[in-house]
Amino acid sequence: MLRLALCTLKFRRTSFIATFCAMFFGAAIVIGCGGLMETGSRMAAEPQRLHEAPVVVSGVQTHHSTALAERHRIDPGLVGQVAGADGVGKAVGDVSFPATVLKDGKPVTSGSSSYGHGWASAPFTPYTLAVGKAPAGGGEVVLDTALAEQAGVRPGSTVGIVVEGTTRQFRVSGVAEQNGDRNPHAAVFFTDDQARTLAGGQIDSIAVLPASGSSADTVAAAVSTAVGDRAEVFSGESRGLAELPGTLAGQRTVVILAAVFGSSVVLIVMFGVASTLALSLQQRAREMALLRAVGSTPTQLRRMILTETAVLSVASVLLALLPGYAIGRGLFAVLTSSGVVSSSITYHAGAVPMAVGAIVTILAAAGATRFAGRRAARTEPIAAVAESAIGTQWFNVPRLLFALFFLANGIGLAVATATVMEDGPTLASTAGPASVLFCIGLVLLAPGITTFMVALLKLPVRAFSGLSGRLALRNAATANVRMAGAVAPIVLLIGIATGTLYMQSTENAVSRSSYDQNVLADYVLDSTTGGFAAGVVDRVRQTPGVAAASELVTTRGFVDGPDGPAEVDLRGVSASGVAQSLDLPKVAGDLTALSGDTVALSDKKAEEYEVKVGDKLPMHLGDGTKANPAVVALYADNPKQPYLTMPASLLAAHTGERLPQQILVRADSGSGDRAREGLAALAAQLPGSELDDSSSLAGRNNQIQQILVSANYTIVAMIVGYASITVVNTLVSVTRKRRAEFGLQRLTGATRRQVIGMLSVEGALIGVVATVLGTIAAATTIVPYSLVKSDSYLPSGSIGIYLAIVGGALLLVFGATLLPSWRGMRGPAVDTVNAA
């Protein structure tokens, strides 16, 4: 049987190459998405500055399994307990805070970050003292070699450093050289006491060195027992997470992306492999019939088909392993370059994603073999020969049930998106797969739908296309299964591409417009040196032409409810000036009371959290600190900007910089130019300060939205690319199979031009049917998503997106149909008939 299967593969190269391509690319894409999933699940990062510490202790960076937006710092008293754990040789508390070196009043680290640390942690870092000595007093620092060169200083020199928003003078006691490039940030070392004071009195992490003869794993276990649930212990390749706590927030994004698109990819790949293999078996119906006629049993035919499929599956999966790994690496590179996850995260793609890719491909092939080969294997020989000449039987109960299953689930997800899901990052998790499932349901019923739509198009086709149109209509009527096979992959391509791209364009438009409407300020001051000191906002208010100013801090936190914590966006503002800087129409209370431990929220959020003015709202801030602020004001709800508003000083103290990074400024009516000139002069006096129009805030918010855009577009391009390969495979295979038909038409009087015209009309019919069905399928994603996002049935975005998708699909149709047909008709017609 193996020998017969190999011989069949040899003499059916075209159809088997198409099947092999579907399996190969499908397995590679599934393996790539599996690599993303494994990377997100493991979330490991190599250490940077604390590379020489085998064990690192850090604050717990999650709240009820959700990553914190800010670093959770720990009590310095924990250092002694860690040092007393079994097997610990040395334990040193480490801090990290913004510290910007100046030269001529300007930062020397343009475009990069600079942080201050305590000198005691230096032995755990790649830095060694090159010249000078360690800092001994509160006014001394050690700079890394790059900072010293840029600032033009050496030991004994005095240098200005911006710390806590204020410029201070320090004496350079030494210069440290970094061995390798592990730490991407510039480093300034202070004495331990001063570093801890400048960091707010707490520490970021504890670097642990095992005693002689103790292993890192043993020490990590002992330290974990010592600290209990007050801190986390990292060892091995996960140590970098202690230095990069924000990377955990990207874990959810990676997992969601991998899960949403991975599930869609699995469905599309399984369908693509199954449809391509089914088409191949359908085209061999006459061959199967003849084998039955000469005495082959149904069992033998099934074994032959299964053996052929097994050979193709194993070969395609083995060859797809390395390309699949490369695809996963490429997708991960897009995520890191766009800022979705830190570039320090280690990419992992082990045996699990490769096994998943293999299993999906083999199951798809086995399922297609089971259903597509069953008819040829069971049909009586004489009936099979007759049926192979027509091949129009397609309807059966299992096919109908599967179609209804996919259609019902697609509609169910669409309804759930519109009625149950709220506007947020998980909205796409139900909206996106809806079109995929609906597409598959439509495709399963494509032969019947195609026959119906061709009947509707009969009159206009006859009116405008003459003899070529009549031939095309006859072919469509007598070979509806073949035509439906060509329609199917184009429906997937149009439906998925249209739905996903318009989801993204709607997200971008809604985000930008809502942000523009919410910000009333005219200008914004930005700090690149760690934030603004407390008195700066008062200086801004005193600037001529300025009507109001408010500090701005943005982060995320949690509201503690009876059903568990709910993650929310938090916005810190100044009570004086917030009403003029942000659009917060008052419903109750007073926004000017936002000081101390207080909060203001929308009336809808207040109803959701069951609080009113004067009540306490239990919550946790961005670094996990428990808070119980009093509600002092309610404002009209803006569902596109669902922030809780708190005092800037309260929120800033629980961020990594511990200071506001921005100041919103509202100018007096008619005093815009005077206010800009005054603010520009003030910014020149504040090192690292930049003045910009408030519209830049919307642009930056849009940049945050764009972080996922490149990832979405890349994955969509991958899916559309696979669908395109399926389209080309299907159409080329169908066209090559019809060479004898074209030859007979030419022998009976049809010219080559008439045959090409017939194929053009067929291509147009395929394009029209596929466009209609693909558009209907895309609507199951677009309509509910737009309803939730913008209260509109229509998406935001240019019509050019849709036209480009449809135009690209039509180019594929005509290219994959006309080119092989033209090449096949270059020789004499009789030779074509005989060759077939």
CA 818 to chain centre: 38
Structural domain includes residue 72: yes
Between 26 and 682, whose confidence is greater? Answer: 682
Between 634 and 67, whose confidence is greater? Answer: 634
Query: What does the pLDDT look like over 570-598, one tens digit per residue?
Result: 999 998 888 888 888 888 988 889 988 99
Using alpha carbons, select from 558, 663, 8 the residue that is nearest to residue 304. Answer: 8
Structural domain includes residue 682: yes
Domain that residue 350 falls in: 1-45+250-387
- Within 10 angstroms of residue 581's Cβ, the number of other Cβ atoms is 25
| 162/191 same-domain check | yes
| 374/414 same-domain check | no
Rounded Cα–Cα distance for residues 728 and 392 (Å): 22
Structural domain includes residue 50: no
| 513/528 same-domain check | no
Structural domain includes residue 600: yes
Structural domain includes residue 482: yes
User: Cα dihedral sign for 230, 235, 239, 241?
Assistant: negative
Rounded Cα–Cα distance for residues 224 and 229 (Å): 8
Q: Predicted confidence band at 776 (pLDDT cuts at 50, 70, 90)?
A: very high
Last residue of a domain, one of 635, 662, 693: 693
Structural domain includes residue 115: yes
| Cα three-residue angle 796-800-804, rounded to 5 degrees | 125
| 144/256 same-domain check | no
Q: How far is CA 489 from CA 398, 512, 712, 813, in A?
A: 21, 35, 21, 10
| 491/541 same-domain check | no
- Residue 211 backbone phi and psi in degrees, to 5: -70, 165
| 241/313 same-domain check | no
Rounded Cα–Cα distance for residues 511 and 789 (Å): 9
Between 46 and 622, whose confidence is greater? Answer: 622
Last residue of a domain, one of 347, 371, 387: 387
CA 699 to chain centre: 20
Structural domain includes residue 471: yes
Q: What is the DSSP string of 539-586?
A: HHHTSTTEEEEEEEEEEEEEEEETTEEEEEEEEEE-TTTHHHHB---E
Query: What does the pLDDT look like over 270-317, one tens digit per residue?
Result: 777 777 766 666 666 667 777 777 777 777 777 777 777 778 788 888
| 512/524 same-domain check | no
| 662/558 same-domain check | yes
Rounded Cα–Cα distance for residues 528 and 676 (Å): 19
Query: What does the pLDDT look like over 154-175, one tens digit per residue?
Result: 998 999 999 988 899 999 999 9
| 286/359 same-domain check | yes
> Based on the structure, what is the number of domains in the chain?
4
| 570/649 same-domain check | yes
| 117/194 same-domain check | yes
- What's the pLDDT score for residue 412? 92
Structural domain includes residue 675: yes
Last residue of a domain, one of 672, 693, 714: 693
| 141/125 same-domain check | yes
Output the pTM of the full model: 0.74
